Amino acid sequence: MATKKVKEPTVPTRAEIIEQYADYCLTHGSKPATVYKFAKDNGYSEGAFYKHFPSFEVLEESYFVEMFNHAVELQEQSPAYAAYTGVEKLSAIYFTFFEIATANRSFVVYSLGEGSNALKNLMKLRELRKVFTEYAAAVLENPVDLKHPRAEKIQKEALKEGAWVQFLSIFKFWMGDTSASFEKTDVFIEKSVKASNDLVYNSPINSLVDLGKFLWKEKFTV
């Protein structure tokens, strides 16, 4: 007697759900009404969605973390990366992250520009902030050997928080960049990194003036 084969339930990957969600938002101009309907329309159960994300909000936060982790993975595959200084590593991550962001610009701009609540949208970067500051703390060298654990910790905190502010300023610039291939964002990254490097590790005056001239020309306020 022949037996019927039981159809195995579809189990989507984390990346597949993120891609489906981004496509839905961009196609419809709004979020899915419910997790249940979103999952059903994509051929799997609500439970399959919840295996990866507890909500759409957490999914969006994870989206930015995934981009950053991918940028780090790509750089770590480069033979030259290991020999970079901390500032050079951070600079390389900036360029790679915003290349990835540009490839996904429609959804990034949609997500961070949704509605009129700028603070709520900024909260979508809170998980990214965690992984970014952990990375910055790991790669950036303390400029001064203070020989005191507490002072060294304070110095490290200042470095990673300063890097996060810099990253946000680049993000803001990129969001408003209308130049071809977002080439002005590349210039901003170069000047911003040089200025911050000189401010922390070298003589800052020339780099800060150069960055100031660029920002004045672009009518951008950090």
Q: What is the pLDDT of residues 14-65, one digit of tens each?
A: 999 999 999 999 999 999 999 999 999 999 999 999 999 999 999 999 999 9
Q: Is the dihedral of CA 70, 126, 105, 161 positive or negative?
A: negative
Give pLDDT, residue 6: 43
C-alpha span between 209 and 215 (Å, rounded) = 10
Q: Hunting for tokens 């790991």 — which residue is that?
A: 138
Q: Which two tokens stand for residue 149?
A: 């654990």
Local confidence band at 70 (pLDDT 50, 70, 90 cut-offs): very high
User: What average pLDDT does the chain have?
Assistant: 86
How many angstroms separate the CA atoms of 82 and 89, rounded? Answer: 8
Give the best-scoring range by mean pLDDT among 54-68, 101-115, 158-172. Answer: 54-68
**Cα distances (Å, whole numbers) of residue 62 to 38, 127, 130, 180, 210:** 18, 7, 11, 29, 36
The answer to whether 11 and 48 have CB atoms below 8 angstroms apart is yes
pLDDT of residue 21: 98
pLDDT of residue 1: 44
State residue 148's pLDDT score. 59
- 71-80, 197-206, 211-220: range with highest mean pLDDT: 71-80
Name which of 128, 112, 132 is nearest 120 in CA terms: 112
pLDDT above 60 for 205: no
pLDDT for position 176:
93
Residues 6+ apart with CB under 8 A from 179: 185
Residues 86-107 have a mean pLDDT of 96
pLDDT computed for residue 86 by the predictor: 92
Q: What percent of the chain has pLDDT over 90?
A: 68
Structure confidence at residue 196 (pLDDT): 84
The yes-or-no verdict on residue 222 having pLDDT over 70 is no
pLDDT at 202: 64
- Residue 155 CA neighbour count, 13 Å, CB half: 15
Tokens found for residue 14? 């984390």
Which residues 6+ apart lie within 8 Å of 45 measured at CB?
A: 9, 39
